[in-house]
A and B are shown apart, each in its own frame.
Chain A
Amino acid sequence: DAGVTQSPTHLIKTRGQQVTLRCSPKSGHDTVSWYQQALGQGPQFIFQYYEEEERQRGNFPDRFSGHQFPNYSSELNVNALLLGDSALYLCASIPGQGRQETQYFGPGTRLLVL
């Protein structure tokens, strides 16, 4: 049983560019959350997707957007990149029926904005 997978593992972009990060949840999980983890900090909630819709959003600007596909995989898009967007982006998947107590994280995508 594959766990949560994310791609790419590392990415380097320049200011002003756009980036798309991808996540495949664990088998049987239908909900995906995205987090941003800046260096030396804990993860910060960006948003959560369920049934292909954004269900809840954290305190992030509209430059951060997402999508969920019918197979439950998800993308995180960030437009007009800033230096401060450099971070580890983590995807977490949650089993069906909203069992929030078991939220599993992927290995993350490390984004560096120059």
Chain B
Amino acid sequence: GEDVEQSLFLSVREGDSSVINCTYTDSSSTYLYWYKQEPGAGLQLLTYIFSNMDMKQDQRLTVLLNKKDKHLSLRIADTQTGDSAIYFCAESWGNNDMRFGAGTRLTVKP
């Protein structure tokens, strides 16, 4: 397909793990990203993974990349209420532009 696809909504309980999934469009994408956007704010870069990697871990965040299926996931361990936000998956080719998904709205219930 031509679009980066994400589920629109995810709801979890505080303390549980959250897994946000993304299917990207181009197997030649060089970098895959996860951005966080809180209400009324810009995009905050959470993490990125180079296309020759399968996994990247950064504190509570784990990114998994399946190049064969063009599938990217973001796992947030011990999810907190402050993690409630919209999470965007994006791909780039190391040149100039980035292609974003429509975002997954994560709601964390106490």
Contact = CB atoms under 8 A, between A and B. Distances in A.
B10 interface: no
A42 B100 contact: yes
B31 A100 contact: yes
A87 to B, nearest CB: 13
Q: Size range of the interface on B?
A: 20 to 34
Interface in B74-110: 88, 90, 92, 94-103
Nearest to A41: B102
B43 A90 contact: yes
A105 B98 CA distance: 12
A65 interface: no
A108 interface: yes
Contacts of A6: 42
Interface SS of A by simple majority: loop
Given A105-B45, A107-B41, A107-B42, A42 B103 contact: yes
Contact of B50 (A92, A101, A103, A106): A101
A40 B88 CA distance: 11
Contacts of B88: 42-43
B41 to A, nearest CB: 6
A86 interface: no
Contacts of A42: 4, 88, 90, 100-103
Contacts of A104: 45
B61 to A, nearest CB: 16
Contacts of B30: 100
B18 to A, nearest CB: 19
Interface in A1-52: 4, 6, 33, 40-45, 48
A37 to B, nearest CB: 8
B43 A43 contact: yes
Given A45-B97, A101-B94, A105-B35, 20 more contacts: A4-B42, A6-B42, A33-B97, A41-B102, A42-B100, A43-B98, A55-B96, A56-B95, A58-B97, A100-B31, A100-B95, A101-B31, A101-B50, A102-B45, A103-B45, A103-B92, A104-B45, A105-B42, A105-B45, A107-B42
